[in-house]
Amino acid sequence: MKPFSKRFNSLVIIVAAPLLLLSISATASPEAEQQLQAGDAVLNSPELMSHYLAAEIAAHDGDLATAFEHYMQIMAPANEVSIARRATHIGLHLKSESVTEAAKLWTQLAPDDLDAWKALLVLRVNAGDREGAVQAIDSLMKAAETEQSDGFIQVAAVVAEGDNKELGLELVKNLAARHDRDPRAHYALAIAYFAQKNQSAAEKSLREALLLKKDDPKIWVLLARILDVQQRTDESEKLLQQGVEQLPDNDLLRLSYAEHLVIHEKYEQAYSEFKLLHKALPENDEITQALGSLAIELHHWNDAREIWSEMVSGHGRKDRALYFLGQIEEGSGDAEKALEYYNKVGGVLRTDAKIRSAQLLAKQGDLPKALKMITTARLSAMEDAVRLYLVESDLLSDANKGMQAMGLLDKALAEHPQQVDLLYARGMLGDDMGSLQILERDMRAIIKIDPENAQALNALGYTLTVYADRLHEARELINKAYALMPESAAILDSMGWVEFRLGNLGEAEKYLRMAAERDKDSEIMAHLGEVLWIKGDREEANQIWQDALLLEPESKHLLDAMKRLQQQNEQ
């Protein structure tokens, strides 16, 4: 079984999809309102003042229903925008049937207030009032023009929040038809379609918008996102590249292209794009960190060292910079300097730095010091105890101290019973030590706690396939894992192998090819080659093995499979 990846990537980039769906809420939280200042009408009327004070006290205490009732009592006689606005926000929050009255008064008192028309529009849409909604849209568009805002976007975002999705989409389509030469209208329609997951219609609207205005970056960005959602990754990348060529000075578009490259692990290309972004926006902290992380990922140690050294003095970034400088020196081969940096790391990365230090010490042959460091860290950071137990057991296991590692995990589970990560680690260690009984016990314990734990289902199913010859039981377990995680290369590998053991060579090849598309791991390639060899496709099998050996020349899985099958062929 190809194990689930334990690789911790130094690339720390939060990838966002900017400007996809602008959240323009017409139902702002009433708690966000500033305290009202009573106007003359309220101040000069004891009755109105009584209701006003009762409303304010109720709102402060969180009793919005009572506050709304009192605001509605004074709204009309007070004739003040602030009270009508407050009543509308609270009424929307409460979904009150009488809130429309408040919204109408708000628009009458402030006809150029964009938020007022957004509130009335969402109410008209929810009520199914087509005519009233159209009138609200026309007024909203005028208010947006006064505020120099994009009214089309405002309308699309508001109706997307409404309960009547069908009417909302119809209204945006109507608006776009009335402004068919305005790219903003087509963009807004695309957002409305996107909100309803109609990707093909959204794509069509965006392409029409792009024909009308090629220099609007958000059109390129959203269109690329929609192509990605449809798993048309190559088209999305080509489109973003074309957009960057069309608008080379637009940072938003270049950032979207760079993030796309990162997501699809095209790190060298992404690095080039982030270098250009960093040059254009040297003060942008997130871009600088992304560039520094990519430099580490690509082993560009000198560039990475320069970037993170400058960030040591940056506000709130010292610990992260020290941590990555430790990685850089570790990668460059200077273990002493790496340990020096790791020792200075505090804050949320302190435990991570201790783990890296211990692993580095173990590599240098100082296992006692490494173990002591982990034990000390565990005692001082109890919230990280499970993770540190797992690291310590790995250190012992890697040092061929399997029995000590098993004892440690027994102790950890006594302290943290039913902790699935510890159970999984102990089960896999049992497998490494040749104990199917330990593996099966712990995987079944995990499945009892979490019946949808795909990792445990797969591990047990694969092990039963290989060692116990309980093939039908194994296939049932692996099928459950596959249903939960159909894109996992490890599970696809298990699917292929159990089918191979059952004699279903066509199905085995199908799943193993799918696994190989996702991960060129040597065990997967060994399995795929073996299936092809047995099927008689020996030339392709040999080519797959040779290609895999270039990546992992000492792979036991590959070398064992090749030797065994070639010996069988000679007999």
Q: Quick check: is 140 in a domain?
A: no
Residues 436 and 524 in one domain: no
Listed in sequence order, the residues at least 6 apart from 400 whose beta carbon sits closer than 8 Å to its beta carbon are none
Q: Are 226 and 194 in contact (CB under 8 A)?
A: yes
Listed in sequence order, the residues at least 6 apart from 179 whose beta carbon sits closer than 8 Å to its beta carbon are 152, 185
Q: How far apart are CA 518 and CA 491, in angstroms?
A: 11
Instruction: Report the pLDDT averaged over residues 148-161.
Output: 91
Query: Residue 255: in which H helix or E strand, if any?
Result: helix 251-263
Range scoring the smallest mean pLDDT among 3-12, 142-151, 280-289: 3-12
Q: Quick check: is 257 in a domain?
A: yes
Residues 381 and 441 in one domain: yes
Q: Quick check: is 21 in a domain?
A: no
Query: Residue 84: in which H helix or E strand, if any?
Result: helix 81-94
Residues 484 and 560 in one domain: no
Q: Quick check: is 58 in a domain?
A: no
Residues 529 and 504 in one domain: no
Q: How far apart are CA 199 and CA 207, in angstroms?
A: 12
Instruction: Report the pLDDT averaged over residues 523-543.
Output: 95
Q: Quick check: is 260 in a domain?
A: yes
Taking every pair of Cα atoms in the chain, the longest distance, rounded to a whole number of angstroms, is 108
Q: What is the dihedral of CA 330, 335, 339, 342, to 10 degrees?
A: 0
Number of domains in the chain: 4
The pLDDT, as a whole number, for residue 1 is 57
Res 24 pLDDT > 50: no
Q: Quick check: is 50 in a domain?
A: no
Q: Quick check: is 422 in a domain?
A: yes
Listed in sequence order, the residues at least 6 apart from 384 whose beta carbon sits closer than 8 Å to its beta carbon are 351, 377, 378
The pLDDT, as a whole number, for residue 7 is 35
The pLDDT, as a whole number, for residue 3 is 52
Res 39 pLDDT > 80: no
Res 384 pLDDT > 80: yes
pLDDT tens profile 315-341: 678 999 999 999 999 999 999 999 999
Q: How far apart are CA 145 and CA 158, in angstroms?
A: 17
Q: Quick check: is 391 in a domain?
A: yes
Q: How far apart are CA 90 and CA 360, in angstroms?
A: 58
The pLDDT, as a whole number, for residue 52 is 79
Residues 446 and 458 in one domain: no
Q: Are 440 and 430 in contact (CB under 8 A)?
A: no
Residues 442 and 369 in one domain: yes
Instruction: Report the pLDDT averaged over residues 166-194.
Output: 94
What count of Cα atoms within 13 Å lies in the side-chain half-sphere of residue 492? 21
Q: Are 393 and 408 in contact (CB under 8 A)?
A: yes
Domain of residue 394 covers: 346-450
Instruction: Enter the pTM of the model.
Output: 0.76
Q: Contacts for 444-453 with beta carbons within 8 Å, 24 or more apart? A: 445/418, 446/420, 449/418, 449/420, 450/420, 452/484, 453/420
Q: What CATH code is carried by the domain that includes residue 354?
A: 1.25.40.10
Q: How far apart are CA 390 and CA 350, in angstroms?
A: 17
Q: What is the dihedral of CA 433, 438, 440, 444, to 10 degrees?
A: -140
The pLDDT, as a whole number, for residue 26 is 41
Residues 491 and 525 in one domain: no
Residues 392 and 482 in one domain: no
Q: How far apart are CA 38 and CA 55, in angstroms?
A: 12
Residues 480 and 529 in one domain: no
The pLDDT, as a whole number, for residue 38 is 56
Res 195 pLDDT > 80: yes
